[in-house]
């Protein structure tokens, strides 16, 4: 390989390097600092926090903020519902996306064209918020857990990502399974699903993050049902309740919680509780979703 | 024989029979696909039927035939409402700002990141940059509000520390700053994520091109301009197409969570307007009229953007 001596490197390249590293540093700090700051405040004594000046380390360390929010029953219900909807929503979503993807990958499938057009259109047509609300109301789904997992069960985008992955598998595998007497369902379950794991992992991450982060369906349909509210919704209530005299939310003893402790610390502690599960998961799945993203982009 | 002479008449029957034979052979494929198709029909297509509400004096509980038809009454009402024009302006403004920033910043960031020679640093920065993508808008809005707050908000502290301002700015209470805040929030949250594809494209460029350029004495900046940028041209075009397609989903989540009464004139989008005036006040027909208008605006935006795009690149998405 051809290497230049240091002195041969034009000065403009050094300037270029400086600009690059400076910009990268600024971006990294701008991304990371807010999280570290929130984390520090959540572990800091609330009366001390009010004085300000906390950056990325707590000044007076305490666990009291967390004790307070965990003592609040709404949080535990929220946690339970959020975990439940994430698990059920992810599993059902994976099942629907992989089944549809499998049938669409079969060139010989009679209804292939119809199904794929039908699904593709769902990405572009939408009735809007109010017709959707009326539909859910007519289906008697308001105030039920089903509202969290059923409307979003089928996602065309996920189907197409998994399908392009299955298309990359050799068809001979299916043929030999067929010769062994396997029916289409067995092929899907025994042959395709195990081989599709990387794509499934990507989609599972997308689905799980989507479910965990959802709050608007709770706001719209289940806000008044204490036993059905999600963690994100609880956080939303807390955050909105103290920002500038915003809209009136059905506060559920939250004022009592706030009275004990500065709202700032409560907000930050709940924010951390809501965020941590995702932070734990995503670095492990990184290589999958990078592959999935790239694949999806190329095909669509 | 008879079958041959009557071929024309027989063919549909044969076809039909064939259909059912294949249908039975593929019964498992049908069993796997059709339930979900029916599902998608209910939740994606049925709401379209709800558009009829905009032309009726819709009353919940009454059947479709018992509703009173009122023609374009609600659309006329809509066009006489100042709030509507406000919401329309905000929707267009924030969409276009979001399109521009959300398209340019990830490209710049990907190129910068690619120039980082220390592999561990590059990977670290990349991992950090995805982080905000994975938190909900509720969390993001909470963090952003905290950072921009007047008491001990990091942004105000920084600006004060640099002596750029003499007293804290009330970011969340200033309407004319709202569009910028929403756009910047979006950039903060999604840049890292949107960079993935560009980085993948850059890594596909052959290293021998860079070597050759080095031999010819090209500076790093010249390499970026003449190798990296042309190398990811196709990806840029594809992603521009996709992001234009996403103009359709203008949404309201950010505006809902970051907005408040003080900045309402700048934060209310058409969707939010439908939520507040349609659902909030139980005026379903009026809200549906807003929804319909929103869809029309989206389609027009898409066509205009596509038209401009076509002129520049001679390619089309529609």
* Max Cα–Cα distance, chain A, nearest Å: 76
Residue ranges of A 70-89 with Cβ closer than 8 A to chain B: none
Q: Enumerate the residues of chain B whose CB falls inside 8 A of the CB of residue A109.
A: 26, 29, 33
Q: What percent of chain B has pLDDT over 70?
A: 92
pLDDT for position A221: 92
Cβ–Cβ below 8 Å for A31 and B192 = yes
- Over its length of 300 residues, how does chain A's per-residue pLDDT go in tens digits? 445 455 566 777 888 889 999 999 999 999 999 999 999 999 988 877 777 778 888 888 888 888 888 887 778 889 999 999 999 999 999 999 999 999 999 888 888 999 999 998 887 777 788 899 989 988 999 999 999 999 999 999 899 889 988 988 888 888 888 888 888 899 999 889 999 988 898 899 889 999 999 999 999 999 888 889 999 998 888 877 754 333 333 344 455 445 445 677 878 888 999 999 888 887 777 777 777 666 554 444
* Least confident window among B33-42, B51-60, B237-246: B237-246
Cβ–Cβ below 8 Å for A244 and B261 = yes
Comparing alpha-carbon positions, the chain B residue that sits nearest to A237 is B138
Task: Give the pair of three-digit tokens for residue A232.
Answer: 């994100």
**Partner-chain residue, chosen from A13, A21, A37, that has the shortest CB–CB distance to B154:** A37
Distance from CA of A263 to the nearest CA of B (A): 12
Cβ–Cβ below 8 Å for B131 and A239 = no
CATH topology for B72-313 is MetI-like fold (1.10.3720)
pLDDT for position B243: 74
pLDDT for position A54: 82
Residue range B215-227, pLDDT digits in tens:
888 888 888 888 9
**Partner-chain residue, chosen from B127, B128, B287, that has the shortest CB–CB distance to A130:** B287
Domain residues of chain B, as ranges? 1-55, 72-313
Beta-sheet pairing, B56-57 with B68-69: antiparallel
pLDDT for position A44: 87
- In order of start, what are the domains of chain A with their CATH numbers? 11-61 (no CATH), 66-298 (1.10.3720.10)
Between A and B, how many CB-CB pairs are < 8 A? 263
Cβ–Cβ below 8 Å for B154 and A34 = yes
Q: Enumerate the residues of chain B whose CB falls inside 8 A of the CB of residue A278.
A: 134-135
Residue ranges of B 114-173 with Cβ closer than 8 A to chain A: 115-116, 121, 124-125, 127-132, 134-139, 141-147, 151-152, 154, 172-173
Chain B interface, best mutation among A129, A183, A185, A190, by max B CB count within 10 A: A129
Q: Enumerate the residues of chain B whose CB falls inside 8 A of the CB of residue A118.
A: 37, 40-41
Higher pLDDT among residues A299 and B101, named by residue: B101
Residue B213 contacts residue B226 (beta carbons within 8 Å): yes
Average pLDDT, chain B: 84
**Partner-chain residue, chosen from B141, B221, B288, that has the shortest CB–CB distance to A131:** B288
DSSP B45: I
- Residue B50, pLDDT above cutoff 50: yes
- Residue B53, pLDDT above cutoff 50: yes
CA–CA dist B164, B151 (Å, integer): 17
Residue ranges of B 63-102 with Cβ closer than 8 A to chain A: none
DSSP B164: S
**Partner-chain residue, chosen from B131, B220, B238, that has the shortest CB–CB distance to A297:** B238
Residue B67 pLDDT level (bands cut at 50, 70, 90): confident
Higher pLDDT among residues B79 and B307, named by residue: B79
pLDDT for position A21: 93
pLDDT for position B205: 87
Beta-ladder partners of A262: none
Residue B156: which residues within 8 A CB-CB, separation 6 or more?
A: B148, B149, B150, B165, B168, B169, B171
Residue B108 CA, distance from chain mean position:
20
Distance from CA of B202 to the nearest CA of A (A): 12
pLDDT for position A1: 46
Distance from CA of B2 to the nearest CA of A (A): 30
Distance from CA of B223 to the nearest CA of A (A): 11
Please give the backbone phi and psi of residue B229, each rounded to the nearest 5 degrees, phi first: -60, -50
Q: Is A36 on the interface with B (CB under 8 A)?
A: no
Q: Is A267 on the interface with B (CB under 8 A)?
A: yes
pLDDT for position B8: 52
Residue range B134-190, pLDDT digits in tens:
999 999 999 999 899 887 888 988 998 898 888 888 898 888 999 999 999 999 999
Higher pLDDT among residues B205 and B300, named by residue: B205
Residue B67 CA, distance from chain mean position:
35
pLDDT for position A30: 93
- Residue B128, pLDDT above cutoff 60: yes
pTM value is 0.85
pLDDT for position A24: 93
**Partner-chain residue, chosen from A33, A111, A154, that has the shortest CB–CB distance to B154:** A33
Cβ–Cβ below 8 Å for B220 and A17 = yes
Task: Give the pair of three-digit tokens for residue A54.
Answer: 């906390």
- Residue B278, pLDDT above cutoff 90: no
* Least confident window among A181-185, B109-113, B299-303: B299-303
- Residue B202, pLDDT above cutoff 80: yes
Give B100-132 as a DSSP string: HHHHHHHHHHHHHHHT---HHHHHHHHHHHHHH
ipTM above 0.95, yes or no: no
């Amino acid at each position: 390989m051809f290497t230049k001596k240091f002195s041969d490197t034009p000065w403009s390249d050094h300037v270029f390097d400086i600009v690059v590293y400076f910009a990268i540093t600024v971006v990294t700090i701008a991304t990371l600092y807010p999280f570290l700051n929130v984390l520090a405040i959540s572990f800091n004594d609330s009366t001390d926090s009010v004085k300000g000046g906390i950056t990325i380390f707590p000044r007076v360390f305490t666990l009291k903020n967390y004790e307070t929010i965990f003592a609040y029953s709404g949080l535990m219900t929220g946690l339970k519902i959020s975990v439940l909807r994430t698990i059920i929503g992810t599993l059902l979503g994976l099942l629907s996306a992989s089944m549809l993807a499998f049938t669409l990958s079969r060139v010989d499938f009679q209804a292939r064209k119809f199904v794929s057009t039908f699904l593709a259109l769902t990405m572009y047509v939408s009735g809007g918020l109010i017709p959707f609300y009326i539909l859910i109301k007519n289906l008697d789904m308001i105030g039920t857990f089903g509202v969290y997992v059923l409307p979003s069960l089928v996602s065309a985008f996920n189907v197409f990502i998994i399908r392009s992955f299955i298309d990359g598998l050799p068809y001979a595998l299916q043929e030999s399974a067929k010769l062994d007497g396997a029916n289409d369902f067995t092929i899907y379950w025994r042959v395709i699903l195990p081989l599709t794991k990387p794509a499934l992992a990507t989609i599972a991450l997308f689905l799980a993050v989507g479910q965990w982060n959802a709050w608007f369906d709770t706001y719209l349909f289940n806000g008044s049902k204490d036993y059905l509210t999600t963690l994100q919704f609880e956080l939303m209530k807390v955050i909105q309740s103290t920002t500038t005299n915003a809209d009136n939310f059905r506060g559920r003893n939250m004022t009592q919680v706030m009275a004990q402790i500065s709202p700032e610390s409560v907000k930050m502690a709940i924010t951390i509780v809501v965020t941590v599960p995702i932070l734990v998961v995503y670095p492990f799945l990184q290589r999958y979703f990078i592959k999935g993203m790239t694949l999806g982009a190329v095909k669509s | 024989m008879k079958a041959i002479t009557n071929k024309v008449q027989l063919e549909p029957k044969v076809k039909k029979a064939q259909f059912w034979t294949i249908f039975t052979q593929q019964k498992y494929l049908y069993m796997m696909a059709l339930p979900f198709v029916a599902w998608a029909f209910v939740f994606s297509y049925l709401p379209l039927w709800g558009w009829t509400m905009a032309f009726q004096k819709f009353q919940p509980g009454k059947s479709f035939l018992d509703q009173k038809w009122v023609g374009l009454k609600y659309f006329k009402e809509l066009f006489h409402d100042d709030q509507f024009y406000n919401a329309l302006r905000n929707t267009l403004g924030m969409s276009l700002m979001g399109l521009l920033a959300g398209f340019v910043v990830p490209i710049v960031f990907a190129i910068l990141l690619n120039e980082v020679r220390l592999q561990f640093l590059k990977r670290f920065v990349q991992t950090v940059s995805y982080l905000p993508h994975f938190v909900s808008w509720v969390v993001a809005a909470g963090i952003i509000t905290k950072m921009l707050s007047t008491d001990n908000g990091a942004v105000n502290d920084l600006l004060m520390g640099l002596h750029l301002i003499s007293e804290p700015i009330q970011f969340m209470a200033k309407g004319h700053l709202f569009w910028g805040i929403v756009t910047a929030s979006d950039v903060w949250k999604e840049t890292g994520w949107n960079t993935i594809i560009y980085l993948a494209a850059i890594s596909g460029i052959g290293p021998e091109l860079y070597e050759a350029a080095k031999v010819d004495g090209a500076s790093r900046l010249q390499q970026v301009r003449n190798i990296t940028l042309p190398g990811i041209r196709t990806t840029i075009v594809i992603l521009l197409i996709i992001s234009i397609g996403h103009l359709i989903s203008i949404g309201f989540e950010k505006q809902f969570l970051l907005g408040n009464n003080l900045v309402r004139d700048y934060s209310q989008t058409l969707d939010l307007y439908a939520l507040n005036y349609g659902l909030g006040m139980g005026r379903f027909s009026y809200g549906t009229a807003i929804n319909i208008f929103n869809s029309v605006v989206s389609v027009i935006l898409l066509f205009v953007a596509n038209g401009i795009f076509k002129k520049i690149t001679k390619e089309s998405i529609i």
